[in-house]
Amino acid sequence: MKRVVVTGLGAISPVGNDVNTMWESLKAGKCGIDYITKFDTSDLKVKIAGEVKDFDPTLYIEKKEVRKTDLFTQYALGASQQAVDDSGILGKVDEKRFGVYIGSGVGGIETFYNNSVGYGAGGSRKVSPFFIPMMISNMAAGQVAIRFKAKGACMPVISACATGTNAIGEAFRAIKFGYADAIIAGGAEAAVTPLSIAGFSNCKALSLREDPKSASIPFDKRRDGFVMGEGSGVMILEEYEHAKARGAKIYAEMVGYGNTCDAHHSTAPDPEAEGAAEAFRLTFEEADLQWDEDVYINAHGTSTPLNDKGETLAIKKALGDRAYDIFISSTKSMTGHMLGATGGIEAIAAVLTIRDSVIAPTIGYEEKDEECDLNYVPNKAIKQNIDFAASSTFGFGGHNAVVAFRKISE
C-alpha cells in the first residue's frame, strides 16, 4: 500500500478567500458570521449566515463563463486553482492518474431557486439554457477536471454535511491502493439562499439567536442550532514517492479514514453515538494512533443540541479516558456550517494545526454543558505541539466521516 501526503491547499470561506487569510482569521478567533446581505430576509425567521465576502469569480474563470456556472462551482474552481498552484503539480503528473473528488451537499441550489422563480413568473421561456449543467451537484468536480485536464477518476461525493470529508477520505483510499497518483479533493457549497434558509429553519436546524457573534456556539449549553455558511475547501492528495520525486512541499501525511452510517434517522443522530464512535475508531486504528502522540480533533461541532452532545460521547467511546487529554475545537464557531464544504475547510485547519503547532479556538464559549465536558479550547488559540490531527463531520442521513493526518516522517 502507498503512503499519501498533502501537497496543496485552497480555501474560499467566510473568514478569508485564500488559505493564509482564512487560517490567520481562525487563529485570531475572527467571526465571519453576520447579517445576510445577499437578499431581503424580512420574511425569514433566520437573518444571519457565514457569507463569503468580496469573492471575485473572474480571478478564476473568464467573465463570460460566470453566468454559466453556479456559485458553488465558482467557489470550487477558486479553491482548486489555489490548491493546484500551491502544489506545483501541473505538468508533473500523468493526467490519466490525476483525479478529482469534489462534492457538494446540495449543489446548485441558487440556480434551482432562481430558475424556479423565473418559471413561476414567466413560464418555460424564463428557464436558463444553462439551468441543468449549473444545478447538478457533480458539475464542480467536472469543471475542475476540465480545467486541469485531470482524466483519472472524477467522483463527486454527496453525503450531506459529511461530503467534503468523505471526498477526501475516498481520494485517500484511491491513492493508497494504487488507483491514482494525485487527486484534487474537497467540497463546495453555496446554499445561502432564501429557499435553503427557510427549509433548514423550518425543520428546526438553524439557530434563532439574533446576535451574529453568539449564534454559532458549539458545545456551549446555550446553543440552539447551526448557522449556515458557504465556500469551498480543497486539498491536493498525492502518493508520497511521487511527491518526493518531484520535490514537492509536503504539509502532512494522511494516515486514516473512517466512514460509517447511523442507519437511525433522516436528520437526528443516533443518541448512543455508536456510528460516530466507530468512524473515530476506524480512523485511529488505520492510523495506528500512539499513546504518546499529542492529538487534536477539529470537531464537527455544529452548535446543535444533539450533535455536540453526541460527538462528545462518540469521542469518549472511541478514546476512553484519553478523551480528556486531547484538544478539540470547532471552527464552525467562526465560519458557520458550510455543509458539503465544511469537511474540506476543517481538514485544512487540521493540517495547518500540525504545521504551525497552533490550535484555533472555539469562540463564543461561555456556559459549560455538563454533557460536553472535554477540552474545546475556548475563545483563544493556544500554542501546542500536535503530532496527530483529525477532522470529523456528520451529515443528515446518518453519514459519519473522520479523516486523520500526522506530521510527515521519512
Q: What is the pLDDT of residues 138-148, one digit of tens each?
A: 999 999 999 99
For residues 205-213, average pLDDT: 95
Q: Does the pLDDT of residue 259 top 80, yes or no?
A: yes
Residue 300 annotated among the catalytic residues of the structure: yes
Residue 161 annotated among the catalytic residues of the structure: yes
Nearest to 237 by CA among 188, 189, 169: 169
Q: Does the pLDDT of residue 314 top 70, yes or no?
A: yes
- In this prediction, what percent of the chain has a pLDDT beyond 70? 100
pLDDT of residue 409: 81
Please write the tens of the pLDDT for every residue from 40-89. 999 999 999 999 999 999 999 999 999 999 999 999 999 999 999 999 99
Please write the tens of the pLDDT for every residue from 274-298. 999 999 999 999 999 999 999 999 9
C-alpha cell at 403: 479523516
Contact 60, 66 (CB under 8 A): no
Residue 31 annotated among the catalytic residues of the structure: no
CATH topology of domain 257-406: Peroxisomal Thiolase; Chain A, domain 1 (3.40.47)
Please write the tens of the pLDDT for every residue from 242-252. 999 999 999 99
Select which of 31, 300, 372, 399 is catalytic.
Answer: 300
Contact 48, 84 (CB under 8 A): no
Domain with CATH 3.40.47.10 in the chain: 4-245, 257-406
The pTM of this model reads 0.98
Select which of 31, 154, 242, 337 is catalytic.
Answer: 337
Q: What is the CATH number of domain 4-245?
A: 3.40.47.10
Q: Is 118 left (phi over 0), alpha (psi -120 to 50) or beta?
A: alpha
* CA distance linking residue 154 with residue 183, whole number of Å: 9
- In this prediction, what percent of the chain has a pLDDT beyond 90? 99
Q: Does the pLDDT of residue 410 top 80, yes or no?
A: no
